[in-house]
């Protein structure tokens, strides 16, 4: 099993810190740029807008008004991910990158839930294509999604390698 030093290495902390800071700085930037909830500004007309919102719920705005629940849930998720990452036999760069991206985003949203006078997370990235409008999200959400996708690839590779090893041992 890898040591703490091997698991929590420079790559892991660099990605985690970069994601965390990118999220927090982007939220501070948008709060200084747009002053009123619901205020919107076109970045790329008919596609990308910055629209200031506060999400007091979870993913896709579910369970609005339960910010306290998501504060607790996010805290547990962060602790679980740290524990799982450390205990996992997987030690690839892709796995480390995925977990660091997810943790950086989770920490960004966790911090945001305790910041300011309004509970919830600052969301502002607003994608619109014709009459279609995606849920408004933030930088942390983006990295959590990318990290989850990379994690799925890492698990697939890990499983594939485990099956190959098992087949080789059988032969």
What is the distance between the alpha carbons of residues 27 and 68, in angstroms, rounded to a whole number? 20
By the 10 Å C-beta count (0-12 exposed, 13-18 middle, 19+ buried), 91 is classed as middle
Catalytic residue among 23, 112, 126, 141: 141
Tell me if residue 141 is catalytic: yes
Catalytic residue among 23, 112, 123, 126: 123
By the 10 Å C-beta count (0-12 exposed, 13-18 middle, 19+ buried), 126 is classed as buried
Tell me if residue 123 is catalytic: yes
| Residue 81: both structure tokens together | 């991910």
Active site residues: 123, 141
């Amino acid at each position: 099993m890898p040591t703490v030093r091997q698991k929590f290495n420079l790559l892991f902390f660099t990605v985690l810190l970069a994601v965390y800071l990118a999220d927090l700085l982007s939220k501070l930037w948008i709060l200084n740029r747009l002053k009123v909830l619901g205020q919107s500004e076109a970045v790329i007309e008919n596609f990308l807008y910055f629209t200031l919102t506060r999400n007091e719920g979870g993913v896709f705005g579910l369970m609005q008004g339960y910010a306290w629940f998501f504060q607790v849930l996010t805290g547990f998720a962060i602790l679980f991910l740290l524990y799982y990452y450390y205990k996992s036999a997987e030690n690839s760069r892709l796995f480390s990158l995925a977990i660091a991206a997810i943790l950086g985003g989770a920490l960004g949203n966790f911090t945001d839930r305790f910041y300011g006078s309004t509970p919830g997370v600052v969301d502002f990235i607003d994608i619109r294509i014709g009459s279609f409008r995606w849920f408004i999200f933030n930088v942390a959400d983006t990295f959590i999604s990318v990290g989850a996708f990379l994690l799925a690839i890492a698990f697939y590779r890990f499983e594939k390698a485990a099956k190959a090893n098992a087949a080789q041992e059988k032969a």
